[in-house]
């Protein structure tokens, strides 16, 4: 992690707001899912944001997680080296992010590498993992492991087909977004300047 001095003023306020978004309950659910999904020899970290960050920071677990969502032989990250070199660990995080996007996580749900590496925005890391879990649950391809109540299913398309007649009828209606003129009349209104003539 980078050694940074304390932040002041607006920077401090922004960082405090970001830190308030972190959810300890969500952390425990994500830890349980990652352990269930990766299986086997994954060690559970102590609770806490710093421990969660340290647990994921080298990128190995994230790579194993995304690989576990693919059938054997189709894994997006072929080689996951065990290394202590910082740039290699950041590269593994970056590979995970690219694979997560290819898997179906939308770009706006994906965190930046420094959010995890430097602990700048661990809530963003949680959002990405939640989105990944939701996509995995929605795909329903048999590769998701864990409690199905941990994530929400993403909505699927709900296409509607209308006949030509229904489309023509819709063109004759004024939508309520345009406003309504029902109940409007000019009863009780006087013309401009009429009250001056009476005097």
- DSSP one-letter code for 152: P
Classify burial at 2, counting beta carbons within 10 Å of its beta carbon; exposed 0-12, middle 13-18, buried 19 or more.
exposed
The reply to whether 27 falls in a domain is yes
CA distance 57 to 120: 12
75 vs 197: which has the higher pLDDT = 75
Q: Does residue 6 lie in a domain region?
A: no
Q: Specify if 125 maps to a domain.
A: yes
Query: Using 50, 70 and 90 to split pLDDT, how confident is the model at 120?
Result: confident
Please tell me the distance from the alpha carbon of residue 137 to that of residue 149, in angstroms, as a whole number: 10
CATH number for the domain spanning 119: value is 1.10.418.10
Can you tell me the mean pLDDT for 125-138?
89
- 160, part of any domain: no
The predicted model gives 94-104 an average pLDDT of 91
What is the model's pLDDT at position 1? 46
Q: Would the pTM count as exceeding 0.85? A: no
Domain that holds residue 92: 12-139
Residue 59 and residue 188: Cα distance in Å, rounded? 75
Would 97 be classed as within a structural domain? yes
With 70 as the cut, is the pLDDT of residue 37 above it?
yes
In a domain, residue 90? The reply is yes
Mean residue pLDDT of the chain comes to 80
Asked if the structure places residue 71 within a domain, the reply is yes
Structure letter (DSSP) for residue 175? P
Decide if pLDDT at 45 tops 70.
Answer: yes
**Residue 152 in domain:** no
pLDDT at 38 over 80: yes
Name the percent of the chain lying above pLDDT 70: 77
| Count of structural domains, the chain | 1
């Amino acid at each position: 992690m980078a050694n940074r001095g304390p932040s002041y003023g607006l920077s401090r306020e922004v960082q405090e707001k970001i830190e308030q978004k972190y959810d300890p309950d969500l952390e425990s659910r994500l830890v349980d899912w990652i352990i269930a999904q990766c299986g086997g020899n994954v060690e559970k970290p102590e609770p806490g944001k710093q421990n969660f960050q340290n647990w994921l920071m080298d990128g190995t677990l994230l790579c194993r997680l995304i690989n576990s969502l693919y059938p054997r032989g189709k894994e997006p990250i072929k080689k996951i080296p065990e290394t202590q070199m910082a740039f290699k660990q950041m590269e593994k995080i970056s590979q995970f992010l690219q694979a997560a996007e290819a898997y179906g996580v939308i770009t706006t749900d994906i965190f930046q590498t420094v959010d995890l590496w430097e602990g700048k925005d661990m809530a963003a890391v949680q959002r990405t993992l939640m989105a990944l879990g939701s996509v995995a649950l929605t795909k329903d391809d048999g590769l998701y492991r864990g409690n199905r109540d941990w994530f929400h299913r993403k909505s699927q398309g709900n296409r509607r087909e209308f006949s030509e007649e229904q489309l023509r009828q819709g063109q004759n209606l004024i939508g309520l977004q345009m406003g309504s003129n029902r109940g409007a009349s000019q009863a009780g209104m006087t013309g401009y300047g009429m009250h001056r003539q009476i005097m």
